[in-house]
């Protein structure tokens, strides 16, 4: 591996230029990694959601429309519905931290029937149901904050003018980190009523568990028909479609970011190409000498492409590393949006990142390499004389 040593020496001969090129390639690839990580997260949410035969009912106007609490009972009565609960976003602060984790007001009587893949010991469920201020949390959330059963968890309202004084009744296990806390919808609503809040009796959205996936289209049709002529017409959809909606809200932005990402990758490969061309210009005589002593065109081409690819791939490793680290921070910080463990993805992403980087390396090295291979030895040698 004699030429690898030579390539490496050439890479380190102008350290500043190499570092800048590595950084520019690294930057573009860390951007790509985070972007694709985000899209991966969205996708995994959708495919995960399709497994559990749940539907989401909301006001036809979307998140800002209301759904009266009475609709929960009406949905429960539809054929094929096994269980249904209100599910309202509270969005309070904990210890003055905004958005510390997700908090939902729901119904303890059926919540663990709607999400029957979540496991909560029966005595903890009973304790929650019997405690008006009780709440249950995802195990990972309890571990993160060091909560034990019986601990007090005070939340300060932000969108609601009502603070919650919760007590931990149970800790549930779920297949993926939900980063969620559930408390009684009724506790929130009574508090709002006492304060004469403008909006009360609002279920927010309703999540329902359906008997089988075959029954879902029928149930959706019946539910939406039943509410069609009410004050609050509904729009029902599968949980997967609901997840997709979040993605779609960002849809255009996503295409936008993707294109910008590609543009950044492309422009940075031009930057790398320029750096490569510059260092080749400085080495014209050297290349002529190599060719004079018998290096073939192919060998010269290989040396230079090897150099540009190695630089770009160093950038790729750096970029994927930074990108994954950033995703890991997101995974820890806002796990409800980035529920999957980054570590599982590092392998394939590093592979893909290196592949893209090698592509950048080839693109950036191609012109200088072909030029060097075509260089006339006598012209190259004449430059110094």
Ligand X SMILES: Nc1ncnc2c1ncn2[C@@H]1O[C@H](COP(=O)(O)OP(=O)(O)OP(=O)(O)O)[C@@H](O)[C@H]1O
174: phi then psi, degrees, rounded to nearest 5: -130, 155
16 binds another protein (CB under 8 A): no
| Strand 164-172 to 152-155 pairing | antiparallel
Residue 2 or residue 148: which is nearer to another protein going by CB?
2
Evaluate whether 18 touches 12 at the Cβ level (below 8 Å): yes
Minimum CB separation from another protein for residue 310, in Å? 14
384 binds ligand X (CB under 6 A): no
286 binds another protein (CB under 8 A): yes
What is d(CA 180, CA 120) in angstroms, rounded to the nearest whole number? 14
Out of another protein, ligand X, none, what residue 286 binds, judged by CB under 5 to 8 A for its kind, is: another protein
Applying CB under 6 A, among 378, 380, 381, 383 the residue interacting with ligand X is 378
Angle at 70 between CA 155 and CA 220, to 5 degrees: 100
What is d(CA 196, CA 192) in angstroms, rounded to the nearest whole number? 6
378 binds another protein (CB under 8 A): yes
Minimum CB separation from ligand X for residue 375, in Å? 12
Q: In the beta sheet, which residues pair with residue 88?
A: 105
What is d(CA 166, CA 164) in angstroms, rounded to the nearest whole number? 6
Minimum CB separation from ligand X for residue 384, in Å? 11
Applying CB under 8 A, among 237, 285, 328, 336 the residue interacting with another protein is 285
Element (H, E) at 86: strand 81-89
| Strand 134-138 to 164-172 pairing | parallel
Residue 21 or residue 177: which is nearer to another protein going by CB?
21
Out of ligand X, another protein, none, what residue 292 binds, judged by CB under 5 to 8 A for its kind, is: another protein
Residue 253 or residue 378: which is nearer to ligand X going by CB?
378
| Strand 164-172 to 54-59 pairing | unpaired
Residue ranges that bind ligand X, judged by CB under 6 A: 378-379
Residue ranges that bind another protein, judged by CB under 8 A: 2-3, 5-6, 9-10, 12-13, 285-286, 289-297, 377-378, 381, 384-385
């Amino acid at each position: 591996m004699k030429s690898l040593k030579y390539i490496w020496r050439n890479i380190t001969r102008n350290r500043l230029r190499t570092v800048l090129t590595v950084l520019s390639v690294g930057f573009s690839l860390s951007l790509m990694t985070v972007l694709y990580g985000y899209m991966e997260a969205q996708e995994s949410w959708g495919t995960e959601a399709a497994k559990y035969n749940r539907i989401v009912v909301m006001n036809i106007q979307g998140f800002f429309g209301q759904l009266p609490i009475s609709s929960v009972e009406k949905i429960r009565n539809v054929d094929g519905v096994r269980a249904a609960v209100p599910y309202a976003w509270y969005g309070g602060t904990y210890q003055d931290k905004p958005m510390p984790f997700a908090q939902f007001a729901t119904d303890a009587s059926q919540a663990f029937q709607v999400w029957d893949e979540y496991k909560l010991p029966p005595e903890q469920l009973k304790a929650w149901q019997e405690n008006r201020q009780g709440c249950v949390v995802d195990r990972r959330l309890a571990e993160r904050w060091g909560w034990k059963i019986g601990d007090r968890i005070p939340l300060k309202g932000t969108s609601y003018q009502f603070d919650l004084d919760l007590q931990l009744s149970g800790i549930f296990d779920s297949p993926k980190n939900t980063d969620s806390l559930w408390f009684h919808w009724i506790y929130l609503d009574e508090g709002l009523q006492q304060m004469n809040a403008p909006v009360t009796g609002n279920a927010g959205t309703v999540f329902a568990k359906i008997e089988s996936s075959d029954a879902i289209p029928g149930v959706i049709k019946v539910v939406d028909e039943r509410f069609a002529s009410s004050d609050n017409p509904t729009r029902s959809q599968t949980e997967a479609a609901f997840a997709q909606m979040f993605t779609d809200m960002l849809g255009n932005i996503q295409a936008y970011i993707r294109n910008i990402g590609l543009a950044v990758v492309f422009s940075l490969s031009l930057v790398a190409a320029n750096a490569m061309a510059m260092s080749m210009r400085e080495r014209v005589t050297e290349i002529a000498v190599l060719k004079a002593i018998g290096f073939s065109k192919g060998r010269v081409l290989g040396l230079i492409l090897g150099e540009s690819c190695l630089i770009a791939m160093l950038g790729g490793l750096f970029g994927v590393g930074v990108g994954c680290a950033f995703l890991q921070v997101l995974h820890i910080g806002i796990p409800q949006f980035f529920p999957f463990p980054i570590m599982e993805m590092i392998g394939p992403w590093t592979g893909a990142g290196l592949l893209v980087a090698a592509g950048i390396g080839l693109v950036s090295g191609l012109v200088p390499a072909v030029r060097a291979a075509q260089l006339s030895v006598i012209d190259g040698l004449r430059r110094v004389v």
